[in-house]
A = this chain, B = another copy of it.
Amino acid sequence: MMIAINHTHDKAARSWVAGANGPDGDFPIQNLPFAVFRRAGEQHHWRGGVAIGDHIVDMHALGDAALLEGAAAAAARACVSPSLNALFRLGPTAWRALRHGLFDLLKEGAPPAERDAVAACLVPREDAIFKVATDIGDYTDFYTSLFHADNIGRAMGLELVTPNFRWMPLAYHGRASSIGVSGRPVRRPLGQAKPPGAVVPQLQACRRLDYEAELAIYIGQGNAAGERVPIDEAEDKVFGIGLLNDWSARDIQVWEQAPLGPFLAKNFATGVSPWIVTLEALAPFRAAAPRPEGDPAPLPYLDSDQNRMSGGFDIVLEVRLGTARQREAGRLPRRVSVTSFRHQYWTVAQMIAHHTVNGCNLQIGDVIGSGTVSGPGEGEAGALSELSKAGSAPVPLDAGEERAFLEDGDTVILSGYCAKDGFARIGFGDCAGEVQPAPTL
């Protein structure tokens, strides 16, 4: 069942909260994404929060304030928990009730008494510290961009657009324990690699450190083991979408990948943004998911009218790259790529229908990586090794700097947003990480 556009998507709606009404802000009243946070200085008081302008609605405080009723009130109280799993468990009707309740409290024209009570629940966003928003049972990383598969295969010297690519959304299991929230530094990993021309492999600090710009899809409702999810019910299982950086060690990957897939090349660090944008907030930004001319039609379990017409999401994904020298000179990180998730070969619904076709059970709080988001054009590649053609064409930065692969002190910042005439801009915040030197060998 697809979520319809309703009054919470009305571009004309404005909030009384500071910073919520600018045209370029990430968090207008039409967005209302969720995170888990505490104030700097508090030790263990993690709770749910909803972004609005420059502030966060402290959902613990809001639940105590008893301004909501029925399903919305129950959903607000579930946000007292230090993970969003309790909220997810309540299901889509409760999620929607909470969104609509928050919208009414935060909009211009809300009754003054309610407004004062909500104002007492606001925390300045700059005072907040975040953590990963869900208890993640399992993390699956897909591989769904044909452009990425083509680019990265060329870059790594592997045949990565395999014959199965056009028949099913390929994926591997990632490691849930590797997932950390934006801001966590990323230590350059050690690993076994066999440099070009070497006769034997060696243990070394990664020499080809890379990022992958992806979306994080949060499972809000599970399926029982043995019970598959039909494609047109797949999105009912999704609470929302955030950003994900699948940090990758290409030299380790190319040596270990065959026959079992990526392992230590990926499980040292995976970054996610604090904010999860709900599927309801994304309703206006659906996109068609046509099959390229001449490609095979998906098998019936991966195909539906609904999916073909509107299974995609036009989510713009940007990558900025900063260096230590840039930072010291007071210059901002430089944008190195921008593309949209609508170019992806497989949709979110197809990923879930495929993942569960064998009866595999998804669970509340699980994370699904969308696969690297790379588009068709120059400057649309979601990994540095794609942009630099495996290092042979370093990406120019400012002041004569360039990058073939990531260097120590580099910062990678993913950001995302949806924009469309007639609708408010919906932002994802960002997902950042700085590369730290490897430990000694």
Instruction: Give which listed residue, B260, B267, B296, contacts A170 with CB less than 8 A.
Output: B260
Residues in B with CB closer than 8 Å to A203 are: 299-301, 357
| Binary flags per residue of A247-258, CB closer than 8 Å to B gives 1, else 0 | 001001001111
Instruction: Say yes or no for A259: interface residue by CB 8 A criterion.
Output: yes
Give, as a whole number of angstroms, the nearest-CB distance from A107 to chain B: 40
- Inter-subunit contact A258/B162 (CB<8 Å): yes
Residue from B173, B175, B177 in contact with A263 in the complex, judged by beta carbons closer than 8 Å: B173
**Interface 0/1 of A145-174, CB less than 8 Å to B:** 000000000000011101010011011111
Q: Are B260 and A262 in contact (CB under 8 A)?
A: yes
Contact A264 B358 (CB under 8 A): yes
Contact across chains for A358 and B171 when beta carbons are under 8 A apart: no
Residues from chain B with a CB closer than 8 A to the CB of A171 are: 260, 263
CB of A363, distance to nearest CB on chain B (Å)? 6
B264 and A261 within 8 A (CB) = no
Complex Cα gap A171–B264 (Å)? 9
Please, which residue of chain B has its CB at the minimum distance from the CB of A268?
Answer: B358
* CB of A285 to closest CB in B, whole Å: 29
Knowing A137-B176, A162-B258, A261-B260, the reply to whether A201 touches B358 (Cβ < 8 A) is: no
A172 to B264, CA, bound (A): 9
Q: A192–B252 contact, CB under 8 A?
A: no
Quick one: closest B residue to A171, CB to CB?
B263
CB contacts (< 8 Å) of A301 on chain B: these are 203
Contact B138–A176 (Cβ < 8 Å): yes
Which listed residue (B180, B259, B263) contacts A158, Cβ 8 A? B259
Q: Give the residue name and chain of the B residue nearest to A297 (CB).
A: B200
By the criterion CB–CB under 8 Å, are B192 and A168 in contact?
A: yes
B264–A360 contact, CB under 8 A?
yes
Residues of B contacting A178 in the complex (Cβ-Cβ under 8 angstroms): 225, 360-361
Q: A260-B262, A267-B360 are in contact. List 8 more A-B contacts (CB 8 A).
A: A159-B259, A170-B263, A176-B176, A189-B359, A225-B268, A257-B259, A260-B261, A264-B360
